[in-house]
Amino acid sequence: MAVVLPQTSTSEKPAAQDLAALRQVFASVNADSCPYTYNFHMHTTHSDGQLRPDILAEQALEIGLAGFAITDHHQISGFYAAKRFFEEWQQQPNNTGKITPHLWTGTEITSRLLDVEVHILGYAFDPFHAAIADYLTGTAPRGEDAEAHHVISAIHQSGGVAVLAHPARYRRSHEELILAAVKVGIDGVETYYAYGNPKPWKPSPEESQQVRQLSNQYHLLNTCGTDSHGLSLTQRV
């Protein structure tokens, strides 16, 4: 069941940076949340996806998503394009007063943890904060900047939360990586993920259960996402 998201007043942060609302959603996420209620992992033509941000936003409306984040690699421009689409859509006479899905800022950053490449998802951060600026240039960080603790710190300093993407998909076990991520400040894990790209999309039961147990053990947030790169938000490719 979708969470009723709190309204953000003009004196508070923009809705895209509403961390309290996002934490509330993450607390409710389960195996049935994605892809028709929430989706926190998707890509557009602004990185390596096939969907234009406006078409992605249109699909989000058609699906009836309550909330989502675009997580293009190392950039935020797709978020702004989707945000503009929603603003223009609401201004159309037939749509006056209609509610669009809650759109949070998001990105996916290539990082290193335990000497292997991992991906860290950042959400609800201030894209204008100096700490995150070097990670939103469109290119993957290198050297010390790519170390997971630096990436997580940058997300935190800019007001966001950091999540380890698809933790059972790397060259080290998810048990090892989640523990290591906890030690450097990770906030959550992408618990519900479809590792075999099934059609229709469905989170992998075994991996999801194992990751959820670890998230409970370490008191982490749980997210879900299709990791869409193709022409539909309900599939990975």
Which of 63, 1, 58, 59 shows the shortest CA–CA distance to 27? 1
The DSSP secondary-structure symbol of 110 reads: E
Residue 197, in any domain of the structure:
yes
Q: For the residues 1-27, what does the mean pLDDT come to?
A: 73
Averaged confidence pLDDT in the chain: 95
d(CA 68, CA 58): 13
> In which band, very low, low, confident or very high, does the pLDDT at 13 lie, cut at 50, 70 and 90?
confident
Show Cβ contacts of residue 156 under 8 Å, excluding neighbours closer than 6 positions: 162, 185
Residue 84, in any domain of the structure:
yes
d(CA 219, CA 217): 6
d(CA 118, CA 88): 36
What pLDDT shows up at residue 97? Answer: 86
d(CA 209, CA 227): 19
Which of 88, 31, 32 shows the shortest CA–CA distance to 57? 88
More confident residue, 99 or 4: 99
d(CA 105, CA 124): 5
d(CA 133, CA 199): 37
Residue 4, in any domain of the structure:
no
Domain extent at residue 114: 16-224
Residue 75, in any domain of the structure:
yes
Show Cβ contacts of residue 93 under 8 Å, excluding neighbours closer than 6 positions: none
| CATH assignment at residue 51 | 3.20.20.140
pLDDT, tens only, 204-236:
999 999 999 999 999 999 999 999 999 999 999
pLDDT, tens only, 98-139:
999 999 999 999 999 999 999 999 999 999 999 999 999 999
d(CA 222, CA 20): 14
Residue 41, in any domain of the structure:
yes
pLDDT, tens only, 167-202:
999 999 999 999 999 999 999 999 999 999 999 999
Q: What percent of the chain has pLDDT over 90?
A: 94
d(CA 129, CA 117): 25
Helix (H) or strand (E) holding 188: strand 188-192
What pLDDT shows up at residue 203? Answer: 98
Q: What's the domain count of the chain?
A: 1
What pLDDT shows up at residue 215? Answer: 98
Answer yes or no: pTM beyond 0.85: yes
What pLDDT shows up at residue 8? Answer: 41
What pLDDT shows up at residue 201? Answer: 96
pLDDT, tens only, 51-87:
999 999 999 999 999 999 999 999 999 999 999 999 9
pLDDT, tens only, 134-155:
999 999 999 999 999 999 999 9
Residue 218, in any domain of the structure:
yes
What pLDDT shows up at residue 96? Answer: 86
Phi, then psi, of 13 in degrees rounded to 5 = -65, 160
